Amino acid sequence: MEGSRSTPHGAPSTQVTFQPVAFAGATTSFVLFGAMTSLFGPLLINFSHRFDVSLPTAGAVISVNFVGSFFGVLLGWFGVKRVSGSWVLSGSLWLLAAGATGAAFSHHWPTFLTCVFGIGLGFGGLDFSLNTLLARTALEGRVFRLSVANAGFGVGAVIGPVLIVVVHPTNFPILLGGIAVGAVLLSTLNCGVDAPVLRGHQHQREVNALASRRRPILITFIAAYIFYIAVESSSSGWLAAQLHGVGYSGSTATIVTAGFWAGLAVGRVVGAPLHSRWSDKILVLGGLALALVLCGCASSSALAPYAYPVLGLVLASIFPMGLIWYTVLCPHDNDGLALMILFMMAGGVIGPGVESLMVSAFSVHVVPLVIAAFALADMAIFASALRFRPLFIS
């Protein structure tokens, strides 16, 4: 198979291949943890009532999930250096299933947060392993694979809020149980992933030899992704609370959340065609510029329900196109990708955490302003990456 071929240096190739069923399973895994992630924002008020905590305290569930994700990425990174990628994917799905099961049966706030941390472990491992494995596939079609698979996250994030409306928010343990079952079933589809262990990769040693030139590139992209995740997580996590706070019903807020994720899904599906017309740099910077305009629109109570779905649309290309931008600058840098995905999880703590503090101090009206501040900082950091030129690996 492709993954077992040798490089010109005689070292085993680390190129990854996905059989059609395995790629469908990978995309569906994105759907699953997209659905899982999208549940938290619309359910914050229900968490507050069920566990008898304040709304800002309930908002901690988003940050705890991302703290777990941070450590999940570490587990995933450790795993791909020692076992095949298919085992890392399956292990991450089992962790997600265990956390979701525990959260479904929790009756106390500390226990619930512990289980959410477990969900985050699975989420982080799955997010890391899927994105790094897809980034190691053949260059031809890589943009398509990254865009379509990540679109699955948006699709799942649409399904989650819709299921909340159908099942009713007070019955969220049923949704968590369903996610646990889905994770276990998806773990059976990973046998079609050919993902060799990364240990001893010749290209990575050469990249490390260029460390002084790589370091500023890597630091720039790590910072850019931290702020991007802060934008995405604070938008999805707090838009429902903002809409509810300015007079919209819980159902309307949930539907708008679904609209945000629908925009993200559609934007990622069309990412490959857009990339054939515009460069990854233009798609990243243009998306952030448009995000600033839409955050201004979201500051209006009348426009907010319409601005957030479009915000999801313009943010969609930033994540996959940023990865493509980095892999062009630093080819074969698997450790760099791992560090990016590891540290970007901090954005999921920083974004909702800052939102929670600002809401406590100034009310939910401040939500779009905080998102805009993150987006502006992110655009400045990504723009600074225009000064870099690709590292050429012999």
> What is the chain's alpha carbon radius of gyration, rounded to the nearest angstrom?
20
CA dihedral 375, 365, 41, 298 (to 10 degrees): -50
Q: Which residue has the higher pLDDT, 54 or 235?
A: 235
Is position 282 within any domain?
Answer: yes
What's the whole-number mean pLDDT along residues 5-9?
45
What pTM was computed for the model? 0.76
Tell how far CA 22 is from the center of its chain.
Answer: 20
Range of the domain at 60: 14-387
Is position 59 within any domain?
Answer: yes
Asked whether 193 and 27 are in contact (CB, 8 A), the reply is no
- Listed residue (241, 232, 290, 236) closest to 259, CA to CA: 236
Number of domains in the chain: 1
Is position 5 within any domain?
Answer: no
Is position 344 within any domain?
Answer: yes
Q: Which domain CATH number covers 43?
A: 1.20.1250.20
Is position 393 within any domain?
Answer: no
Is position 2 within any domain?
Answer: no
Is position 392 within any domain?
Answer: no
Q: With bands split at pLDDT 50, 70 and 90, how would you rate the model's confidence at 181?
A: very high
Whether residue 7 has pLDDT greater than 50: no
Tell me the two tokens of residue 250: 């819980």
113-146 pLDDT, tens digit per residue, is 999 999 999 988 988 888 888 877 877 777 788 8
Is position 9 within any domain?
Answer: no
